[in-house]
């Protein structure tokens, strides 16, 4: 997935928030397509994405065939609905050849009604970049590139176990911005041994390229990673807060809008794909370990696919990719909506809740009141917006809405 984990664990049962036990959509939410490419050159020690070290040649032709089989089997669940954005994430999608990507996107277009102005993003790692390849990806239909820079500092890149150094990060950023009109640079801060000055220098280096979009992620120690088992020394909470304030000030001073916890964009350049997640739109996810959320007239379901590329490929070779699927309960829906919408700094229009969950607003009104009383959120008759305190303690705010 592209956003850091937003799934909550399932706890079936009735709604503690009171109200009704069924949902009903007037109009279905906008639909996005996510395509997962599960391989990387090397696994980074902090990474909990479904990414696997590529040993030998990638089975890219088989994988593209499996993706298209997967897509075809899912079509009845999204029949006739236009797809507004496509995100090819990983893993490291820039590892696959232009030929394979071209076949993939041609196959997608032949099967799904892609909107004429669809945003088509591809994730790339600076260690896998060539001008010719980028130009080929663009010709195949990619119109937005998301580059995993992480840092422009050799020492920190090394501590993060990245396959590239600062010079390659710079070269990749230059190349991406030369070849694509729409580019995102991913940075991380609060890195092992990083000082506030070094974090600020990374942001300044990114700003110098004037990318339309920039993501600044707080490095987190995720379970089941090398860093979780052998934690490096990280900056303390006060230092991290200082870094956060400084990077927000740096970026907003030169015209970036801080629109989501980790996302900054120039006017008109917000990530349409990620906004659809945060606004609790629908998405079909194909590929190893991909998740989907798909709404129907009176239900909303989640799907997930086999995480191991080998298992996924074996299912396809046997004739069908079989997603696990279950309905999201009425009790879970408000929490799932809020886990996404509260990430947006401008909050959400209250009418969006009913539009995207099929539930009445009464399901969350008592909890919105509670959050407001605690100073975590403000609300008028139109919008609910997290306060600076709510943004600082976002997890506490979100927890209030969980069943």
Ligand X SMILES: C[S@@+](CC[C@H](N)C(=O)[O-])C[C@H]1O[C@@H](n2cnc3c(N)ncnc32)[C@H](O)[C@@H]1O
Q: Which residues bind ligand X (CB under 6 A)?
A: 46-47, 49, 89-90, 92, 123, 125, 148, 150, 186, 188, 217, 219-220, 222
Q: Give the largest Cα separation in the chain, rounded.
A: 58
* Closest distance of CB 389 from ligand X, Å: 23
Closer CB to ligand X, 263 or 294, in the complex? 263
Q: Is 201 in the site for ligand SF4 (CB under 6 A)?
A: no
Q: Is 148 in the site for ligand SF4 (CB under 6 A)?
A: yes
Q: Residue 362: enclosing H or E segment and its boundaries?
A: none
Burial class for 155, CB neighbours closer than 10 Å (0-12, 13-18, 19+): middle
**Residue number of the CB atom closest to ligand X:** 148
Q: Is 69 in the site for ligand SF4 (CB under 6 A)?
A: no
Q: Which does 43 bind (CB under 5 to 8 A by kind): ligand SF4, ligand X, none?
A: ligand SF4
* Closest distance of CB 160 from ligand X, Å: 9
Please name which of 92, 91, 183 lies closest in space to residue 129, comparing C-alpha atoms: 92
Q: Which does 220 bind (CB under 5 to 8 A by kind): ligand SF4, ligand X, none?
A: ligand X
What is the chain's length? Answer: 403
Per the CB < 8 A criterion, the answer to whether 164 and 125 are in contact is: yes
Chain centre distance of CA 315: 26
Instruction: Report the C-alpha gap between 22 and 181 in whole angstroms.
Output: 44
Closer CB to ligand SF4, 109 or 171, in the complex? 171
**Residue located via tokens 């069924």:** 22
**Residue located via tokens 């109200």:** 19
Q: Is 147 in the site for ligand SF4 (CB under 6 A)?
A: no
* Closest distance of CB 321 from ligand X, Å: 21
Q: Residue 129: enclosing H or E segment and its boundaries?
A: none
Q: Which of 43, 170, 228, 266 binds ligand SF4 (CB under 6 A)?
A: 43
In angstroms, what CA-CA distances link 401 with 226, 280, 390?
32, 15, 13
How many other CB atoms sit within 10 Å of the CB of residue 302?
19
Closer CB to ligand X, 343 or 356, in the complex? 343
Q: Which does 219 bind (CB under 5 to 8 A by kind): ligand SF4, ligand X, none?
A: ligand X
* Closest distance of CB 390 from ligand X, Å: 21
CA count, 13 A, side-chain hemisphere, 143: 12
Closer CB to ligand SF4, 40 or 206, in the complex? 40
Binding site for ligand SF4 (CB under 6 A): 40, 43-44, 47, 49, 51, 90-92, 125, 148
């Amino acid at each position: 997935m592209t956003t850091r984990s937003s799934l909550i664990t399932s706890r079936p049962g009735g709604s503690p928030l009171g109200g009704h036990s069924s949902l009903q959509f007037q109009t279905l939410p906008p639909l996005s397509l996510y395509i997962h490419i599960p391989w990387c050159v090397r696994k980074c020690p902090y990474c909990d994405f479904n990414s696997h070290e590529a040993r030998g040649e990638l089975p890219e032709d088989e994988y593209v065939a499996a993706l298209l089989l997967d897509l075809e089997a899912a079509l009845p669940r999204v029949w006739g609905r236009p797809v507004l954005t496509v995100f090819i994430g990983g893993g490291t999608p820039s590892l696959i050849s232009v030929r394979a990507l071209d076949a993939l996107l041609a196959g997608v277009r032949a099967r799904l009604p892609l909107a004429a102005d669809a945003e088509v993003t591809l994730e790339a790692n600076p260690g896998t970049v060539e001008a010719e390849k980028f130009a080929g990806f663009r010709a195949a239909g990619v119109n937005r590139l998301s580059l995993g820079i992480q840092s422009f500092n050799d020492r920190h890149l090394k501590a993060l176990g990245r396959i590239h150094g600062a010079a390659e990060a710079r070269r990749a950023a230059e190349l991406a911005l030369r070849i694509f009109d729409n580019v995102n640079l991913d940075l991380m801060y609060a890195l092992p041994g990083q000082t506030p000055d070094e974090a600020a220098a990374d942001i300044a280096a990114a700003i110098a390229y004037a990318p339309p979009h920039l993501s600044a992620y707080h490095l987190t120690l995720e379970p089941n990673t090398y860093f979780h088992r052998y934690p490096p020394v990280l900056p303390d909470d006060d230092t991290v807060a200082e870094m956060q304030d400084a990077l927000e000030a740096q970026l907003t001073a030169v015209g970036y809008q801080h629109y989501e916890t980790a996302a900054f964009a120039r006017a008109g350049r917000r990530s349409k794909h990620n906004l659809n997640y945060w606004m609790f739109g629908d998405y079909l996810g194909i590929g190893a370990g991909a998740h989907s959320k798909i709404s129907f007239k009176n239900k909303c379901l989640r799907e997930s696919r086999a995480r191991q590329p080998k298992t996924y490929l074996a299912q396809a070779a046997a004739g069908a990719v079989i997603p696990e699927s279950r309905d999201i309960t009425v009790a879970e829906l408000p929490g799932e909506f809020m886990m996404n919408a509260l990430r947006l700094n401008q909050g959400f229009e209250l009418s969006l809740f009913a539009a995207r969950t099929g539930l009445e607003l009464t399901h969350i009104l008592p909890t919105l009141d509670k959050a407001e009383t605690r100073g975590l959120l403000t609300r008028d008759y139109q919008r609910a917006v997290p306060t600076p305190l709510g943004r600082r303690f976002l997890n506490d705010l979100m927890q209030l809405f969980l069943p």
